[in-house]
Chain A
Amino acid sequence: MTDNPLKPKWEICADGACKRYGENVLFRNLHFCLSPGRAVRIDGWNGSGKTQLLYALCGLVAIDAGRITIKEETTAALLGSPYVRDKICRFIPASPSGLTHLSVGEFFHVVSRSLRPYSLVPRSRAAKQTFARFRPMLEEATGRVLDPRMRVSELSIGQQKRLMLSATVYCENPPNVLAIDEPLAALDAGGVRTTIRILQEARGRGMALAIAEHQTQIEAIGFDETITMPFGIQCKEVNPQSEKVEAVTPLPINLWGGLTLRNVDAGYPGCRVFCEHFELGPSEVAHLSGENGSGKTGLLKALLGIAPAALIGGLQFGGNSMIDLSKAMQRAEVRYMSQSRDSFSSLSVADAMRVASSSNAACDPVLLESIASIDKNKRVSDLSSGNLALLSLAQTLAVSPRLAILDEPFANVDGANVVKMAAMIAHARQEFGTAFLIVEHGKMDWTGMAHYKVELEGNRTRLRRES
């Protein structure tokens, strides 16, 4: 008997896969196959189970009915352990948090799977040797010079994502399938181009791709099939670009005095941003953009007094000079929505909102209405990343802060939720006079919005007003 030359070397197939969350069906009766070079896009609203499907492909969660089978030339058995299955199918998360305490060399060593078989050789030497071989490719992918001893946490989220993807694709023994969650979220324009190039290269090397992504730029990959998740939250079809957000009349500056920065040098050690002059009044919105790793998040954390980021220079908030905004945070005048959005993760959604409002007063009905589509009895840690973003914004605004600082609020968020979040921001500006400082890579356009850009000028990174 001879082998059929048209038969692929390996195949991962979902046959009637079904997954429930409590009483809700996330997906049911799904059928699709991944074979060498095939690319499948998984589309659907936030909370529709896209990430769960990727987890199931990689054996990280069990499905409730149906089968996900791996048919390989050499391995016919269903690979039960996620660790063993990772050889075939690798899950790449939206953010590689949890491994960021490793050094870049160790991270690459782990991700590139050269860790096996585990030995007692010095980890730093092993990591350095593995890293050295792939350094140029990794540096090109992340767009910066990498030292194998630096911590992954020193990289921006965008750089961490690109490091993990490139390490997986370029290593000596890459997996057959990449199951990737939101690869373009929180990436700058250059990062998006690089990521798409790496993904196309992966496909060219015979890897199959299963990608969950909201951004339309991902279509550049040229998918063979799109799987639309049928369930989840039923939302009306909206186009965030065409949706009109209510115009906001800026409130007078004397309402709370605004935020002023003069000759401020802020950020992480080794990645600081200089700002000559920055002003933000009540109800105003400042949009900060810049490349991944330019120091935007460091600047925000320095403003908030979150170590190791630090701020030197003149900061005035509400007419008072301050070292940073930590005191104002304690008084609930300032609120921060971080990229990790991990606050109150062990509570139910209802309790998390109660705690976030931090008073006996009932939470603002408009905010509650905005999160009405989320199951209030669900644990925060069980929410999809898009719904988590929606909830985090509601939590941020629940105390009617004077200033809300949002770091990549729209990453991983679908169109319907973007519109809801935009409405929440407009409401807070109008009703509470809340000013917004927003770091976001996507295009944003709000009434009375000022655009600032963090970029390298000479040998100094500066925050400069664009318009």
Chain B
Amino acid sequence: MNSAWLDIVVRTLLGSTLVMAQAIMLNWLRVPFAAITLFAGIAAYATVAGVTPVIVILFVVTVGFLVLVRPLPRDRYLLLSLASLALARSIAGSLRGYGGELGMATSTTWIAAQVPKSAMPYAIALFLSAFLVLLLLRHSEMGLAVDVARAAGTEMHAASMSPTGILTAIMLALVAVLASLTGAVQGAYTGWIDPNLFRIDYAITLLVATLVIGRMPVRGTLLAMSFFLFPDLFSQFFGYDHTVSAHLREIFWGAAIIFLAGRTGSPVRGEA
């Protein structure tokens, strides 16, 4: 397999991992969390800023999101998660030591930049971890408890049948770890970090994919992978400009969401 194909695979695996991680919060716990790229972006800066300060920041951000789950209404929580991206982007842009608005190159000893083979083991491990979590949520007794915790958002009596707070904390911590590790690998593999890691439109793109995959582990994972594969495959086979393909992907998925949301028993309505 040539390097171009390996590059597609690595990026697909990392993107899918982020989508699956976000699905744990959004589709499983029904927490309107749309800032998975915040964790990934902050962790990407660890490649140049050092691990310790980034872990502290990630911990503070995780606790902040956790504390606000219960008091904030769903729509405000969603806005908060998007606003935090805008804030992070501005802060990153103002950090001259890290390249400011233009960003800077990264260099790590564990992954060689733009060398897919060096990033592949990490990408596979993270992808499989996220997939395993989804499988466990779907089929284990723990997943049943998460199911009940999700209902507790709208049904008061369900709150007494599942340790909602503890489960939310565990899930958010898990998501933060998965997203952060994925972000660090992405930062090291691309060899560049800049404030665009916190772009809201990128977060919206992942949000769309998250909504589509629902709560079906296998089908959802395949859908997430196809989401990231499509533009590259399209470019490879039809020779289209990569950016145009990405737009076509958005059109395709937009239509798919409208179709799925309109159907009873769809992943969006019936599962999420």
Interface, chain A (partner B; CB < 8 A): 55, 58-61, 81-83, 85-86, 90-93, 96-99, 101-102, 106, 109-111, 113, 115, 118-124, 126-127, 307-308
Contacts and interface: CB of A to CB of B under 8 A. Distances in A.
Contacts of B160: 58-60, 82-83, 85-86, 90-91
B193 to A, nearest CB: 36
Contacts of A55: 156
Interface in B127-157: 136, 139-145, 147-148, 151-152, 154-157
Interface of A is mostly: loop
Given A81-B165, A119-B140, A123-B139, A91 B157 contact: yes
A257 B147 CA distance: 48
A123 B143 contact: yes
A61 B151 CA distance: 17
Given A58-B160, A86-B161, A96-B157, A120 B136 contact: yes
B145 to A, nearest CB: 5
Contacts of A110: 144-145, 148, 161-162
B142 A120 contact: yes
A119 B156 CA distance: 24
Nearest to B162: A83
Interface size classification for chain B: 20 to 34
B109 interface: no
Contact of A99 (B139, B145, B148): B148
Contacts of B141: 109, 115, 118-123, 126
B66 interface: no
B260 to A, nearest CB: 16
B140 A98 contact: no
B140 A99 contact: no
Interface in B29-88: none
Given A120-B140, A123-B141, A123-B144, A83 B157 contact: no
Given A118-B145, A123-B140, A83 B155 contact: no
Nearest to A51: B156
B139 A122 contact: yes
B262 interface: no
A115 B144 contact: yes
Contact of B155 (A61, A82, A97, A120): A97
B49 to A, nearest CB: 36
Interface string B198-238: 00000000000000000000000000000000000000000
Contact of A81 (B143, B145, B156, B163): B163
B124 interface: no
B264 interface: yes
B155 A121 contact: no
A124 B141 CA distance: 8
A60 B144 contact: no
B123 to A, nearest CB: 25
B112 interface: no
B83 to A, nearest CB: 22
A102 B147 contact: yes
A90 B161 CA distance: 9
Which of A122, A123, A124 gathers most chain B CB within 10 Å? A123
Nearest to B158: A98
B17 interface: no
Contacts of A86: 160-161
A424 to B, nearest CB: 29
B159 A60 contact: yes
A119 B143 CA distance: 9
Nearest to A123: B144
A82 B159 contact: yes
B155 A119 contact: no
Which of B141, B148, B159, B165 gathers most chain A CB within 10 Å? B141
B272 to A, nearest CB: 12
Contacts of B139: 122-124
